[in-house]
Amino acid sequence: MGDSGIKYRIEPSSEGAPTMSVTDEAGRSVYLHSRIDPLREAGTFAGRLNPEKYDTLIILGCALGYHCLPVKDNLSRYTRIIIIDPLQGIEGELEKNAATRFLVSSNINRLFGLPAEEVQSILPDLVNLEGGRGVQVLEHVPSLRAFPAYYGVIKKTIARIINKQAGNLATVSAFGARYLRNCLLNLRNLSACRPVSCLQNSFPGRPAMVITSGPSLEDKLPTIARIHNSTVVISVDSALPVLSRAGIRPDIVVSIDPQPHIHEHFHHSPCRDFLPVYALSSHPLAVAHYPGLISLNSHPLAQLIEEMYPEKTGSIDSRTGTVTGDALACARYLGCTVIALIGFDSSFPGFSIYARGSAYQRRFGAYFQNRTSPIEKRNLDYIMTSSRKLKRDGLHTRRAFLQYRELVEGFALSDKNHRIISISPSGLPMEKVTRMEIGEFEQMYCRGAFDKTGIIGSRLDAAPRMNEIIELTALEKLLRNTRLREELVRASLTSGTAEALHRKTDRYFEALHGV
């Protein structure tokens, strides 16, 4: 029996090699290897190992390791090998077994006897797609049958890590040069901006509403209008036109997109009395026209600035890669302890794409609507094409939506001191996040109006400008160092980016002249 509490027993097989039985999740005694000749399992993975295509190998289920024997001849062909098993103490059994002893002595990452939650926290540091060929996952079927819940969690974790890293690599590949260009151009805008750190803990214990632009936002607008003076209202940029159309002024608008169309969200919002919070890599057009607060994210240039001037600027980076996650992080950063998330649908409820009044919906209607094909039909056509008939709980969705939902849910559950509540989405709810009707949120947490404008105004008045924090001359001089500049470009782009793109980014540094 292992220290993990899972009972297992080692006994000789008919052919003499040791075999193993365990008590599975249902309380039954089952064998993980043959009782007759467990060494026959050496052929289980034969022909399935593919080090030519993948450089990382993950094996789910080890037990006594007979199925792993083909790995012995391929150890040097994989950059990394990871074996996961809930049984604790099996390293000692492997040491005793001449056939599978290599699993202990070799340079293999063994995650044995660990709770699924601990494996979840370790795996992201072990699995890295950057510069690699890919990840191969092989399963020991008897182990997965014995512990389906345990391995179910692990498989979801692996899928999430791969999807996130693949998405991040795709984003960097598509936008890496643009991110770098935006960061450099935004150095010109620093004199009009202040650091997000000036609002840290400005609303301790206050409730907040984080508002996104999903279709379920529409029927919440009357209540939001009624209670918005009793909560801190944080909007993602795409929801700003919807709120403005309803006469609702958000206190803060979070905008992180590197593309120029984010300017459209602000342009269609007649009320200007809101405070934008941008990532350093946000598109400079919006930052120049609607100056606000700057937050440092994980971009290499932002990290360089943080290293030069530590804890001066502040960050609301949620590490989810989503504006919704960063808006929730902003609410936490302000000290809000109860945060209502509104309009986060992760699907197309009611065959709608966005809430009415959003810049996306307005542009979509302007481009495609005509007398014979109204916007409702165009929406349906878009949904059927975009979702590729993917459904969850009867709702059309996209794989990207499901990935965003999982990332945001993980962030929502990561801090027990800040309660995040999903306000009755008509789309796909987050599975483990508390759901509540907006009326219930109003009754429980909205205790009356407070002077948000005065609090924010006093913080801004006392805050320095970004160019007073960052000595731009020193930063420019540092970035003119050829070696440092090359390192910054390499870190900003994927390893497979064409050399021509590297040369193109050199021109972006011309933006440093006269900042």
Q: Give tens-digit pLDDT for 460-513.
A: 999 999 999 998 888 888 877 767 777 777 767 665 554 555 566 566 666 565
Q: 236-246: buried (b, 16+ CB within 10 Å) or exposed (e) per residue?
A: bbbbbbbbbbb
Unique residue bearing structure tokens 């890669």 = 321
Q: Is the pLDDT of residue 370 over 60?
A: no
Q: What are the residue ranges spanned by the domains of the chain?
A: 8-146, 178-345+417-467
The per-residue pLDDT of the chain, averaged, comes to: 85
What is this structure's pTM?
0.71
Cα 316 to Cα 201: distance, rounded to the nearest angstrom: 12
Q: Is the pLDDT of residue 172 over 70?
A: no
Q: Which pLDDT does position 169 carry in this prediction?
A: 47
Q: Which pLDDT does position 17 carry in this prediction?
A: 92
Q: Which pLDDT does position 85 carry in this prediction?
A: 96
Percent of the chain whose predicted confidence (pLDDT) is above 90: 53
DSSP state letters, 438-466:
HHHHHHHH------HHHHHHHHHHHSPPH
Q: Is the pLDDT of residue 455 over 70?
A: yes
Q: Is the pLDDT of residue 38 over 70?
A: yes
Q: Which pLDDT does position 498 carry in this prediction?
A: 46
Q: Which pLDDT does position 2 carry in this prediction?
A: 45
Of these ranges, 38-47, 177-186, 211-220, the one predicted with the greatest mean pLDDT is 211-220
pLDDT in tens, 298-347: 888 898 899 999 999 999 999 888 999 999 999 999 999 999 999 999 98
Contact 391, 179 (CB under 8 A): no
Percent of the chain whose predicted confidence (pLDDT) is above 70: 84
Average pLDDT of the residues in 377-381? 60
Query: Who wins on pLDDT, 18 or 360?
Result: 18
Short-list 120, 134, 92, CA closest to 1: 92
Largest CA distance in the chain: 82
